[in-house]
A and B are shown apart, each in its own frame.
Chain A
Amino acid sequence: AQSVSQHNHHVILSEAASLELGCNYSYGGTVNLFWYVQYPGQHLQLLLKYFSGDPLVKGIKGFEAEFIKSKFSFNLRKPSVQWSDTAEYFCAVERQAGTALIFGKGTTLSVSS
C-alpha cells in the first residue's frame, strides 16, 4: 500500500546531541513534502516544506531536511537539539498541490537536559 513511513517511533537524546529522523514515502511522481511538529499541549505547526528546487531545505528553529528523490526520502535533521525540541514530529506528503496531506505515524522526541 502507498504510504508515508517514519522509521523511529520514539527517540531519546541528551541536549546538544544531533538529530536525524527518517521519512520515506512510496508515491511516484512529483510530491510536496512537509515536516510538522506538535509541542506538548499545542497544535500542529509547520517546521519546513519542500516543493521544488534545492533539495536541502531549512526551516524554523534550526531544523533542516534533505529530499533524496532516488530514495523517496525526506529526512529531518538538527545539529544540536535543545530540551525545548521535545515534541512529536510528523512527516507528510502532498501528492497534488492544494489537496490532502498524507501523514506518517509520527516520531516522539524526548530531549533530556
Chain B
Amino acid sequence: ETGVTQSPTHLIKTRGQQVTLRCSSQSGHNTVSWYQQALGQGPQFIFQYYREEENGRGNFPPRFSGLQFPNYSSELNVNALELDDSALYLCASSPGGQAGYNEQFFGPGTRLTVL
C-alpha cells in the first residue's frame, strides 16, 4: 500500500510569485486535507477536499486555492506569495465517508521558502 506522497520536497520562490504543490492520496482514500506548519508551530488547517469538492476551509485568504482530481490527488495553489508563506505544507488523506472514524495519514510535506 502506497502512502501519501508530496512533490516537490523543497521549493524556493520570491515574493509575488505563484506556486503549486501536489499530493497523491493513499490508495482507497477520497479525502485530502492541506495544512501549513510554520516553524515552531503546529499544523494549521488550510482546506479539505472530499470527492473533488471543497469540504471546509480554515482561516486562510483566497489566494490559497486548491483542486482535487478524479483520482483523488490534489493540488494546493498559492498566488502572490508573501514572506510569511514560508512553511512546511502538509497533505493528509483519509478514507472519508465513515462516520465516527477519520484517521488522517500525512505525507512528508513540501518545504516552501519565500525570499
Number of interface residues of A (CB under 8 A): 24
Q: Which residue of B lies closest to A98 (CB)?
A: B102
User: Chain A contacts of B106 at CB under 8 A?
Assistant: 36, 43-45
Q: Does B58 contact A (CB under 8 A)?
A: yes
Q: Which residue of B lies closest to A45 (CB)?
A: B106
**Contact status A94-B102, CB under 8 Å:** yes
Q: In whole angstroms, how far apart are the Cα atoms of A104 and B44 in the complex?
A: 9
Minimum CB–CB distance for A55 against chain B, Å:
16
Q: Which residue of B lies closest to A88 (CB)?
A: B42
| Mask of B37-51 contacts with A, CB within 8 angstroms, 1/0 | 000111111001010
Q: In whole angstroms, how far apart are the Cα atoms of A92 and B109 in the complex?
A: 18
Minimum CB–CB distance for A91 against chain B, Å:
8
**Contact status B41-A97, CB under 8 Å:** no
Q: Does A19 contact B (CB under 8 A)?
A: no
**Contact status A103-B44, CB under 8 Å:** yes
**Contact status A51-B100, CB under 8 Å:** yes
User: Chain A contacts of B33 at CB under 8 A?
Assistant: 100-101
Q: Does B103 contact A (CB under 8 A)?
A: yes
CB interface residues, B 23-46, toward A, < 8 Å: 31, 33, 35, 40-45
Q: Does A90 contact B (CB under 8 A)?
A: yes
**Contact status A44-B102, CB under 8 Å:** no
User: Chain A contacts of B35 at CB under 8 A?
Assistant: 101, 103
User: Chain B contacts of A102 at CB under 8 A?
Assistant: 45
User: Chain B contacts of A43 at CB under 8 A?
Assistant: 4, 90, 106-109
- Between B43, B48, B99, B108, the greatest number of chain A beta carbons within 10 A of the residue's beta carbon is seen for B43
Interface residues of A (CB under 8 A from B): 4, 32, 36, 42-46, 49, 51-52, 90, 92, 94, 97-106
